[in-house]
Chains A and B, each alone.
Chain A
Amino acid sequence: MILYIVRRVIMLFPILLLISIVSFIVIELPPGDWVSNYITNLRNSGIELQEEEAARLTAMYGFDQPSYVRYAKWMQGIVTKGDFGWSFQWGKPVNDILRERLPFTILISFSALILSWLIAIPVGIYSATHPYSITDYIATILAFVWVATPGFLLAFVAAWLVFHYTGFSPLGLNSTDFLDAPWNTAKLIDRIKHLILPIVIIGLSGTGATIRVMRANLLDELKKQYVTTARSKGVPELTILFKYPVRIAFNPLFSTIGWLLPAIISGEVIISVVLSIPTMGPTLLRATLAQDMYLVGSIVLILSSLTVLGTLISDIYLAWADPRIRFEGTGK
């Protein structure tokens, strides 16, 4: 087991290196680069930059160098100094942007995740133990409606309804009046009011699917012989339920937990965009569209590190939760 973990951890590095290289290539694939993007934007604004200015910017940002040189420099900065490079779009170091947005993103993502599981797991268990009851039907239908509604539409309509009925605009992090205000109770309350809607919508958007997966897995598990045996022996139902089937039913959920953070970050881009929440999602989206490559590269690198790490953690969890999964001596 320990050997397995060590081996997996060592394997992380070449994978991450490969990922960083491929991401870099993919980021460079779309036509143009940041300078051409910037010049196009200014030109569209009526600010005519002449070719000299373009040449100056190109040289200044090092776009006249081949991409492997730029990659090597970027990597060198990360490895030696923890410096993720320069964001052209924001005109400041990528590290600053990450520092500003990452903690907040994690706060939103985890709140949403916790909300989602707090609802989904009990409902899933109830649905599975009471199949075809009225409650199961209602839970099923509600879960499906959440699954079925495009996130942006939901966010859009919800934001409008909140405004329409309360006169409050639930967009952004704070009302504009508090933007320049020092932190105090009123600002905190305003901030919390602004966070409710995004957390609820991001959280609930994944809930439907989780309920369904939970219900399906638990139903599968409840049909197993050992459950029957336990029942026939008179073990209390709740004990039976939580002793094993529920734990097993969690496995497929946990086997994807490693991807949850990256998924919430990249998957809820749209909701964050509609509700104007400055998380990593919209930052990544903007950076991608503007070809702000070191910023995109850094976010992608961080997300993929989380993914790879998450995969490892969920594999280890699975081994712990389900002793039947053996690591040593795989293959027959």
Chain B
Amino acid sequence: MKRVKLLSLFVVLSLILAACGGGSGAAEESSEAPAAAEESTAEEAPAAEEAPAAEEAPAAEEASADDGALEAPMWVAAVAAGDIPALEERMPLEPKVVGPGVLLAEENLPNWEAGRYQDGSVIRTAHSVADWAPDVFVMLNEPALSAPDLGVQNIQGNVLKDFLVENDNTTFTFYLREGMKWSDGEPVTTEDVSFTWDAIYGNEKLTPGGLKARFRVGNDPKGDPGELEIIDDYTFKITYPSPYGGFLRNLVIEGWNGYTELINPAHVLKQWHTDYTPIEDMKAELEANNLTDEWWTLFGQKWCQNWDVTRERCTGYPTLNPWVLQPADSPNTKIFERNPYYWKVDTEGKQLPYIDKIISQQVEDVEAVNLKVLTGEVDFLRESTGLVKVPLYKENEEAGGFNTVLLDMHVDSSTIFLNMTYDDPVWQQLSQDVRFRQALSHAVNRDEIIESIYYGFAGYPVNTVGEANSTYDVDMANSLLDELGMTERDSDGFRMGPDGNPFSMLVEHGAHAPDLEPVAELLAEQMKDVGINFQIKRIDSQLWGQRSTANELQATVFWGHDQNGDNDRLMGNLGLFGREWNTWFSTGGSEGVEPPDWVKEALDLNKTRWESVAGSDEYNTLADEGHQWQQEYIPQITLVEDVKYPMIASKKLHNIPQGGYAIACNFAGEQLWYGE
């Protein structure tokens, strides 16, 4: 088991999202959607074939008959009652058209179907962290730009209608969707962009450190910042002094960001910002919150960034998401209702999402979610499932009316990280020698790990470690360790260090994911076979974070960020395999320790890649070089790749993918619909 302990309930987020996925590079025709209308004509044909599905609607279904209206029955009623404006007034002139291959690559969802509405349709799911529903967050989240399958190839417009890249990747012009509205009905204009840029990023209290790395050349925290220029109500331009081809990539799902990186509802936020509202006018509210003049605290409590959207305090906050949070009468329930102003349509012109509501129930223990799955009380679940439970799911599929879909996990589970800058000269010398890392990699019996921990649903790390170094070869490991001078053994059979003193490595982990602890336990045993004293200890995940930041972790097991996708996570990993090098890099060399050449090589490679355009030949070549670098130096010892992940979906849900990342199905939540 090592199921998520309570301690890690808070960290369960762990499995959730880590590292956003790299696209599988779906070779899909990129008719780069400047005019969404074009898209829609181009894709109408295949969708028309699917259309009969919509006619099968059995008359028996009470009030749910889809009569071909372009909006949900509840909106038809609301419009009739005069509660909301008519559909045309709610939609932008050019909505984003969702069809085959738009949200998920066609190879992962070959049978995309245009759906139909069902009055009162609900996706029931569950979350186990206080005030944070990760499954729903991913369903709701809308990045400024997007690409199929959470990838970075074939970037299209999303919240932003379109973009224009000029002057050798230095000038980026973006177009908003004219007529697009916030969920409260207010128009989205470039004022929302300039507010974000000037009033938030430009304000010392709200952004003490200045502009984010995302808006600096090369995604470098010390890089040159971009400059914003507003052209008109729906057009703005961001200019960089030097080429920054990766900028677009930084506006898609990278790091789970959302449109709030660029666009925030100025009409609401102004009332808590001193640039627009005198502090005297805020006094009453400040006092109610036990504050005196800390308006920025008040602002922070009101401001909802993209990852805040499932938080209760953001109820009623204007968003651009498919569903918006509603007040619920029970403290452990989150109810999300469709956004009347949502700006996506299907190929038939129907406003998305198809499903009226998402209801997520907070459970105190992940096991409780799983019992609810078995009773059929959950229609969709990815977050709290576990490979270990697949036999149990399978046994109850019929009774519970759900399918267990085995998809890919978006991170490489369980990787050994050696902090090569840990303050111990013997350790530094040893761990920085690639032979030591190779020896450890050969000492790992990956077959046993795959069978015991992943029930066979995982593969060798051929991308990150490479085939040659991921074989189980105790002799090879032993001879490499001997070569390193670790020939002496103590009475327990453990090798002495090259300096002749007892050697042990303290592997502290935060049990961030349920597989980490059993993996660590197994590793300790396997390492014993080659005489390495691999001491494992589970510590509080907070303490783990602190020790990591303070360069006090010697070694750990953690998930490795996906290296075989487009997504580059060298930065995420660097902090774990060389904390001081990471500090050196992020402070521009003023603090920390200068990394050796082989690490600098990767940093340069990374920077060049950030300057290139995602999906370009240059980019792909650099990505290949990155893989070669990984395999040559094994900066971290990845144990397995291609771990499968079970996703639970009601048998009635349509547009469930057959391949790709499980989490991508969340991302494409607006195209899910209920059929028979």
- The B contact surface, by secondary structure, is mixed
Q: How many A-B residue pairs have CB under 8 A?
A: 198
With beta carbons under 8 angstroms apart, the residue of A90, A163, A282, A290 that contacts B375 is A163
Chain B residues with Cβ below 8 Å from A41 are 10-11, 13
A286 to B332, CA, bound (A): 13
Q: A52-B209, A289-B9 are in contact. Are A32 and B130 (CB under 8 A)?
A: no
Nearest residue (CB) in B for A97 is B331
Interface positions, chain B 176-224, Cβ under 8 Å from A, are: 205-210, 212-213, 221
Residues of B within 8 A of A160 (CB): 371
- Check A180 for interface membership: any CB of B closer than 8 A: yes
Q: How far is the CA of A60 from the CA of B9 in the complex (A)?
A: 25
| A174 x B207 contact (CB < 8 A) | no
With A60-B296, A159-B371 as given contacts, are A44 and B18 in contact (CB-CB < 8 Å)? Answer: yes
The smallest C-beta distance from B10 to any residue of chain A, in angstroms, reads 5
A36 is contacted by which of B213, B357, B546 (Cβ under 8 Å)? B546
CB distance from B290 to the nearest CB of A (A): 5
Please tell me if B579 contacts chain A, counting CB pairs below 8 Å.
no
User: Is the C-beta of B68 less than 8 angstroms from some C-beta in chain A?
Assistant: no
Q: Are B368 and A172 in contact (CB under 8 A)?
A: yes
Q: Is B609 an interface residue (CB 8 A)?
A: no
| Per-position 1/0 for A153-174, Cβ under 8 A of B | 0001001100100011101111
CB contacts under 8 Å to A, within B362-407, are 362-365, 367-368, 371-372, 374-375, 377-378, 399
Q: Is A100 an interface residue (CB 8 A)?
A: yes
- Is A57 interfacial (CB-CB < 8 Å)? yes
Residues on A with beta carbons closer than 8 Å to the beta carbon of B512: 44
Contact of A278 among B328, B364, B540 (CB under 8 A): B364
> A174: which B residues are within 8 A, CB to CB?
330
The answer to whether A289 touches B368, judged by C-beta atoms less than 8 angstroms apart, is no
Chain B positions 535-591 with a Cβ under 8 Å from a chain A Cβ: 540-543, 545-546, 561, 572
- Return A29 CB to nearest CB of chain B, in Å: 12
Q: Which of B14, B331, B367 contacts A45 (CB 8 A)?
A: B14
A62 adjacent to chain B (CB < 8 Å): yes
CB closest chain-B residue, reference A85: B290
**Hey, which chain B residues are within 8 Å of A48, CB to CB?**
255, 572
Given contact pairs A46-B256, A91-B311, A179-B335, A32 touches B300 in the complex (Cβ within 8 A): no
- Does B436 reach chain A (CB closer than 8 Å)? no
Interface status of A266 (Cβ within 8 A of chain B): no
Nearest B residue to A291, CB-CB: B542
Q: What's the Cα separation between A36 and B11 when bound, in Å?
A: 13
Encode contact with A along B308-325: 1 for CB under 8 Å, 0 otherwise: 100111100000000000
Cβ contacts under 8 Å, A30 to chain B: 540, 542-543
Query: In this assembly, does B42 line the interface, its C-beta being within 8 Å of a C-beta of chain A?
Result: no
Contacts of B11 in A (CB 8 A): 40-41, 44
| Interface residue from B206, B256, B332 paired with A47 (Cβ < 8 Å) | B256
* B206 CB to nearest A CB, Å: 6
> What's the Cα separation between A274 and B370 when bound, in Å?
12
Determine which of A42, A62, A83, A173 lies in contact with B297 in the assembled complex, contact meaning CB atoms within 8 Å: A62
> CA–CA, A90 to B545, complex, Å?
22
**Distance from A87 Cβ to chain B, minimum over Cβ atoms (Å):** 9
Whether B207 and A52, one on each chain, are in contact in the complex, defined by CB atoms closer than 8 angstroms, is: yes
Interface status of B505 (Cβ within 8 A of chain A) = no
Task: For A282, list chain B residues within 8 Å (CB).
Answer: 364
Which chain A positions have C-beta within 8 A of B6?
A: 273, 285, 289
The answer to whether A176 and B372 have CB atoms under 8 Å apart is yes
- Bound Cα distance from A37 to B130, whole angstroms: 13
The docked-state distance in angstroms from the alpha carbon of A40 to that of B130 is 15
> B17: CB under 8 A from chain A?
yes
Q: Is A101 at the interface (CB under 8 A from chain B)?
A: yes
Question: A169, B213: Cβ atoms under 8 Å?
Answer: no
CB distance from A228 to the nearest CB of B (A): 53
For the complex, give the distance between the alpha carbons of A272 and B364 in Å: 8
A77 and B290: CB pair below 8 A?
yes
Q: What's the minimum C-beta distance from A193 to chain B, rounded to whole angstroms?
A: 13
Contact B546 A92 (CB under 8 A): no
A104 to chain B, nearest CB (A): 9
Specify the chain B residue showing the minimal Cβ separation from A167: B375
A56 pairs with B368, CB closer than 8 A: no
Q: CA A17 – CA B239 in complex, angstroms?
A: 58
Contact A290 B290 (CB under 8 A): no
Query: Can you name the residue of chain B whose Cβ is closest to the Cβ of A57?
Result: B300
Say whether B103 faces chain A, with CB atoms less than 8 Å apart.
no
List, in ascending order, chain A residues with CB within 8 A of B541's CB: 40, 44
| Chain B neighbourhood of A246, CB < 8 A | none
Cβ of B131 under 8 Å from chain A: yes
Cα–Cα, bound, A188→B365 (Å): 24
Q: At the interface, yes or no: A86 with Cβ under 8 Å from chain B?
A: yes
B16 at the interface (CB under 8 A from A): yes
**Residues of chain A contacted by B328 (CB below 8 angstroms):** 179-180
Give 1 or 0 for each of B247-291: 1 = CB within 8 Å of chain A CB: 000000001110000000000000000000000000000000110
Interface assignment of B134: CB less than 8 Å from any CB of chain A: yes
- A89 close to B221 (CB less than 8 A): no
- Complex interface: chain A residues within 8 A of B14 (CB): 44-45
Could you say which residues of chain A place their CB within 8 Å of the CB of B542?
A: 30-32, 36-37, 40, 291
- Asked if A73 is at the interface (CB within 8 A of a chain B CB), the reply is yes
Determine whether the beta carbon of B546 is less than 8 Å from that of A31.
yes
Q: Is the CB of B13 within 8 A of A44?
A: yes
Interface string of B116-151 (1 = CB under 8 A from A): 000000101010001100100000000000000000
**A45, B18: Cβ atoms closer than 8 Å:** yes
Residue of A nearest to B546 (CB): A31
Query: Hey, which chain A residues are within 8 Å of B411, CB to CB?
Result: 46
Q: Does B458 contact A (CB under 8 A)?
A: no
**A199 interface residue (CB < 8 Å to B):** no
B17 touches A46 (CB 8 A): yes
Complex-state Cα separation, A265 to B399, whole angstroms: 36
Map CB proximity to B onto A1-44 as digits: 1 under 8 Å, 0 otherwise.
Answer: 00000000000000000000000000000111000110011111
Q: A44-B11, A56-B208 are in contact. Are A172 and B124 (CB under 8 A)?
A: no
**A residues within 8 A CB of B131?**
89-91
From known contacts A60-B300, A91-B301, A176-B378, infer whether A86 and B290 are also in contact, taking CB-CB under 8 Å.
yes
CB <8 Å contact, B363 and A276: yes
B628 at the A interface (CB under 8 A): no
User: What are the residues of chain B within 8 A of A180 when measuring CB–CB?
Assistant: 122, 328, 333, 335, 357, 359
A89–B130 alpha-carbon span in the complex (Å): 7
Task: Tell me the bound Cα distance from A265 to B545 in angstroms.
Answer: 31
Min CB distance A53 to B, Å, is: 8
Complex CA distance for A118 and B546, rounded to whole angstroms:
50
A51: chain B residues within 8 A (beta carbon)? 209
Question: Nearest 10 pairs between A and B by C-beta?
Answer: A52-B209, A91-B313, A45-B13, A60-B300, A100-B331, A40-B545, A46-B18, A32-B542, A169-B375, A46-B17
A-B contact pairs, 18 of them (CB 8 A): A40-B11, A45-B17, A46-B17, A47-B257, A52-B209, A59-B205, A59-B296, A91-B301, A91-B308, A91-B312, A97-B331, A169-B374, A172-B368, A176-B361, A179-B124, A274-B367, A278-B331, A286-B9
Known: A45-B18, A275-B364, A285-B6. 14 other contacts (CB 8 A): A41-B11, A44-B512, A46-B255, A55-B208, A91-B313, A91-B314, A173-B332, A176-B126, A180-B328, A274-B365, A278-B362, A282-B364, A289-B6, A290-B10
A contact residues vs B (CB 8 Å cutoff):
30-32, 36-37, 40-48, 50-52, 55-57, 59-62, 73, 77, 83, 85-86, 89-92, 97, 100-101, 156, 159-160, 163, 167-169, 171-177, 179-180, 272-278, 282, 285-287, 289-291
